[in-house]
C-alpha cells in the first residue's frame, strides 16, 4: 500500500547530514545518465496560481511529480504509486543540502568561515548543510533588520554550536569568508562582487525567478566556475545569469551542471584562488531522491499513514 507522509514525518526522517549524502549520490547518478529532470512549470489562475516539477532517479527507483501542496512518488520498477508526501519540509531541507554538496566540491577543503546574507527560514539550512561538509567555526550574517540578524545568530549558534556573528553590512559578511551564501528574495544584487576574496565559493540559493537577482555581474565575470543544479531550469529561472547573458557579460556555454562537478567531469576548483559560483534553483530530481529516501526510512520505522489505494 502507498503511504502518506506529512511534513512532520519528514522532519523526523531526514536529518540534514543524511540529505547531503542523498543528494551527493543523486548528482553522481546524474553524471552516469541515470536521472531525468522535469523543470518547474508555473501556472497562473485568475486569483492565484500553482507550479509543478519533478523527475526520475533510476538508482533510487523513483519518479516524482511535485505540485505546490503535494508530491506524488512512483516506483520506477513496479510503476505503482509508492507515496504521497507534503512537499514543504523536503524542499526546505534539500535546498540546504544541495548547497552543502556544492560546498563540498567547490569550496576549499579547510573552509572555516561562512558569510551569509539573508536571515529567513532557508538561511539556517544553508549554514547547517555547509557545516556538515566543511570544518566551519565562524558564521558572519547580515540582513537589513538588526533584530532579525541578532535572532538568527542566537538560534543558529545554539543549534549548530558554531560562532555566529551579526554584522552591519554585506561587506562585513564577505570579509574573510571562505564561502558566501546569498539566500534572499532580492530583485537587485545584495553584495559587491569586487569585494570577494580570491578563492571564495559563492552560493546563490534565494532566487528562482527571472525577475530576481541576488548576484551582480562582477561576481559572475570573476567566477572561474559557474555551476547550476540544472541548466535547462537555470535558463528559465536564474535571474542573474539571464540578466548577464542578455547584456553579453555571460555565455550559457560557461555554465556546467553540478552533476558534472560531482561526477568529476569538471573540476570543482579550477585553481586555489578561483572564485566559484553555484546557482541553485531547486530541481525536481532533488525532491525525487529525497522523497525516496524518506519513504525507505518510513517503511523501516513504521511511520506514515497507509492509503486505501
Q: Give me the pLDDT at residue 211, please.
A: 80
Quote the pLDDT of residue 43: 87
Tell me which residue has cell 558566501. Answer: 180
* Residues 201 and 296 reside in one and the same domain: no
**Residues 222, 168 share a domain:** yes
What are the average pLDDT values for consecutive 10-residue runs of the chain, which has 309 residues? 97 98 98 96 85 95 95 97 98 98 98 97 97 98 96 96 97 98 95 98 88 93 98 95 95 97 97 97 97 98 95
The enclosing domain of 73 has a CATH number of 3.30.1780.10
Q: Where do the DSSP E strands lie in the chain?
A: 3-5, 35-44, 49-57, 62-67, 71-75, 81-85, 113-117, 138-142, 163-166, 179-182, 201-204, 223-228, 255-257, 275-279, 305-306
Res 208: pLDDT: 78
**116, 173 in Cβ contact below 8 A?**
yes
Residue 148 to residues 71, 118, 121, 166, 275, Cα–Cα distance (Å): 32, 9, 11, 9, 29
- Whether the Cβ atoms of residue 257 and residue 234 lie closer than 8 Å to each other: no
In whole angstroms, give the CA distance from residue 288 to residue 65: 8
- 218-237 burial by CB neighbour count: b if 16+ within 10 A, else e? bbbebbebbbbbbbebbbbb
d(CA 49, CA 267) in angstroms, rounded, equals 40
Residue 190 to residue 187: CA distance in whole angstroms: 9
| 157/129 Cα distance (integer angstroms) | 14
Helix (H) or strand (E) segment spanning residue 5 = strand 3-5
Q: Could you read off the pLDDT of 136-182 as tens digits, one per residue?
A: 999 999 999 999 999 999 999 999 999 999 999 999 999 999 999 99
- Give pLDDT tens digits for 76-97: 999 999 999 999 999 999 999 9
Which pLDDT does position 47 carry in this prediction? 84
- Cell 541548466 belongs to which residue? 231
The CATH number for 251's domain is 3.40.50.720
Residues 24 and 115 in one domain: no
Predicted local confidence at residue 98, as pLDDT: 98
Note whether 217 and 81 are same-domain residues: no
The candidate with the shortest Cα–Cα distance to 219, out of 185, 244, 238, is 244
pLDDT at 48: 83
Co-location of 153 and 64 in the same domain:
no
Do both 124 and 215 map to the same domain?
A: yes
Residue holding cell 557579460?
A: 249
State the total domains in the chain: 2
Domain boundaries, position 12: 3-91+284-306
Q: Tell whether 291 and 253 lie within a shared domain.
A: no
Instruction: Give which of 220, 237, 231 is closest to 275, Cα–Cα.
Output: 220
Same domain, 60 and 156: no
Residues 51 and 106 in one domain: no
Task: Quote the pLDDT of residue 136.
Answer: 98
Same-domain status, 115 and 257: yes
Residues 291 and 271 grouped into a single domain: no
Do residues 178 and 86 share a domain? no
Amino acid at each position: 500500500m502507498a503511504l502518506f507522509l506529512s511534513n512532520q514525518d519528514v522532519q523526523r526522517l531526514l536529518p540534514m547530514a543524511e540529505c547531503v549524502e542523498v543528494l551527493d549520490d543523486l548528482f553522481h547518478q546524474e553524471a552516469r545518465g541515470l536521472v531525468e529532470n522535469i523543470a518547474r512549470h508555473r501556472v497562473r489562475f485568475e486569483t492565484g496560481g500553482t507550479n509543478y516539477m519533478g523527475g526520475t532517479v533510476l538508482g533510487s527507483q523513483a519518479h516524482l511529480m511535485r505540485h505546490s501542496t503535494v508530491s506524488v512518488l512512483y516506483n520506477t520498477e513496479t510503476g505503482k504509486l509508492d507515496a504521497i508526501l507534503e512537499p514543504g519540509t523536503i524542499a526546505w531541507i534539500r535546498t540546504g543540502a544541495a548547497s552543502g554538496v556544492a560546498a563540498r566540491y567547490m569550496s576549499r577543503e579547510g573552509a572555516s568561515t561562512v558569510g551569509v546574507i539573508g536571515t529567513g527560514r532557508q538561511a539556517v539550512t544553508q549554514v547547517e548543510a555547509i557545516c556538515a561538509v566543511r570544518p566551519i567555526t565562524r558564521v558572519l550574517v547580515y540582513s537589513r533588520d538588526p533584530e532579525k540578524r541578532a535572532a538568527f545568530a542566537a538560534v543558529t549558534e545554539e543549534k549548530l554550536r558554531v560562532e555566529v556573528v551579526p554584522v552591519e553590512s554585506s561587506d562585513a559578511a564577505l570579509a574573510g569568508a571562505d564561502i558566501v551564501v546569498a539566500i534572499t528574495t532580492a530583485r537587485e544584487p545584495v553584495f559587491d562582487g569586487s569585494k570577494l576574496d580570491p578563492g571564495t565559493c559563492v552560493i546563490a540559493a534565494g532566487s528562482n525567478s527571472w525577475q530576481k537577482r541576488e548576484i551582480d555581474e562582477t561576481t559572475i565575470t570573476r567566477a572561474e566556475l559557474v555551476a547550476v543544479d540544472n541548466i535547462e531550469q537555470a535558463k528559465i529561472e536564474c535571474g542573474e545569469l539571464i540578466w548577464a547573458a542578455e547584456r553579453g557579460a555571460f555565455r550559457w556555454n560557461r555554465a556546467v551542471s553540478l552533476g558534472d562537478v560531482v561526477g568529476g567531469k569538471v573540476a570543482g576548483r579550477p585553481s586555489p584562488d578561483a572564485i566559484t559560483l553555484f546557482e541553485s534553483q531547486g530541481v525536481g530530481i532533488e525532491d525525487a531522491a529525497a522523497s525516496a529516501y524518506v519513504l525507505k526510512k518510513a517503511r523501516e520505522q513504521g511511520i506514515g499513514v497507509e492509503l486505501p489505494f
